[in-house]
Amino acid sequence: MNPLAAGSRLVRRTIAWQVIAVAALALALFAKGSAWAVAAVAGGAAITAGGALYGVLALGGGIAPAAGALSRLVLGLLAKWFVVIAVLFVAIAVVRLPALAVIGGVVAALVAQVLAMAGGHRNGNP
């Protein structure tokens, strides 16, 4: 019944679903070439790492007044999207991985995130 513990469980479940989805996509894209598989992993890793960082920053401070809790949420969100944009920039512009596969990894990770979050609310359990 602890909401912070439930949030931490949700973050772990979401990361597990994302890793499985991105690994399946990378395995499928390996037939196209190893660069495509690595690109899919890079895109999925950007979303997964950003989500994990958000979970740590947003849920790591324990019970706090509203201003402190809101500031942790905003800080976590900003950090998440900074990590995502930085990793995507490096993967596409610097390393020159196939952009379509990078975006495919992002989409796979985001779809897995939505499914993990929606699947956790059966019978009111987060």
- Determine the pLDDT at residue 5: 74
Q: Is the pLDDT of residue 84 over 70?
A: yes
CB atoms within 10 A of CB 118: 9
- Determine the pLDDT at residue 65: 82
**Beta-carbon-side half-sphere exposure of residue 86 (alpha carbons within 13 Å):** 8
Both structure tokens of 13: 């479940």
For 8-50, how does the pLDDT look when each residue is reduced to its tens digit (9 = 90+)? 788 889 999 999 999 999 999 999 999 999 999 999 999 999 9
For residues 98 and 124, the model is more confident at 98
- Determine the pLDDT at residue 61: 72
Q: Is the pLDDT of residue 89 over 70?
A: yes
- Determine the pLDDT at residue 103: 97
- Determine the pLDDT at residue 50: 94
What is the four-CA torsion angle of 68, 125, 122, 81, rounded to 10 degrees? 30
Cα 102 to Cα 48, 88, 90, 105: the distances in Å are 13, 7, 11, 5
